Amino acid sequence: MWIQHTIELPPFRRGFHLITDRIREAVPELGRCRVGILHLFIQHTSASLTINENADADVRTDFETAMNHAVPETLPYVHTLEGPDDMPAHVKSSMMGSSVSVPIGDGRLLVGTWQGIYLGEHRNQGGRRKLVATLWGESAAPR
């Protein structure tokens, strides 16, 4: 089976946000997939996707702190037409990545016990974000 959905996320404040449950809700066909892959792609150049620890909220704060340290807004960027947070957001997006793939087994995302899917919002006012979710796999046998 091949299934594809566009998922529109609401605006999030700058930082890292768990979106695993939103993905599960937006792709109900996951429950019918015996084995497969879910590929997620963000259609933006100033936000990113990643997989990391989902248990301790401090991880989200530390991600933001580390990214701001690695890519400060105070560098002498040339691309500044869209504000001082725009070019650093592009760099952070390229560093973190625009897609993730998650294996599917028996109708579930096969993320680890402490893993979740994150949206990295790198703009102060990023707005709504669109993801393309592509599910490829083998359907479970009818019961």
User: Given this model, what pLDDT does residue 71 score?
Assistant: 97
pTM for the whole structure: 0.95
Assigned domain for 116 exists: yes
Assigned domain for 8 exists: yes
Determine the distance from the C-alpha atom of residue 91 to the mean position of all C-alpha atoms in its chain, rounded to a whole number. 16
Identify whether the C-beta of residue 1 lies closer than 8 Å to the C-beta of residue 29: yes
Identify whether the C-beta of residue 129 lies closer than 8 Å to the C-beta of residue 48: no
* Dist CA 142 CA 73 (whole Å): 54
Which 3-state string (H, E, C) describes the chain? CEEEEEEEECCCCCEEEECHHHHHHHCHHHHHEEEEEEEEEECCCCEEEEEEECCCCHHHHHHHHHHHHHCCCCCCCCCCCCCCCHHHHHHHHHHHCCEEEEEEECCEECCCCCEEEEEEECCCCCCCEEEEEEEEEEECCCC
- Domain hosting 82: range is 2-138
Assigned domain for 47 exists: yes
Domain count, the chain: 1
Assigned domain for 123 exists: yes
Q: Tell me the pLDDT tens digit for each residue of 103-138.
A: 999 999 999 999 999 999 999 999 999 999 999 999
| Residues with pLDDT less than 70, the chain | 142-143
Assigned domain for 143 exists: no
Assigned domain for 82 exists: yes
99 contacts: CB under 8 Å, gap ≥ 6:
39, 40, 41, 42, 49
User: Given this model, what pLDDT does residue 116 score?
Assistant: 97
φ, ψ for residue 42, nearest 5 deg: -95, 130
* CATH code for the domain in which residue 90 is found: 2.60.120.460
Assigned domain for 49 exists: yes
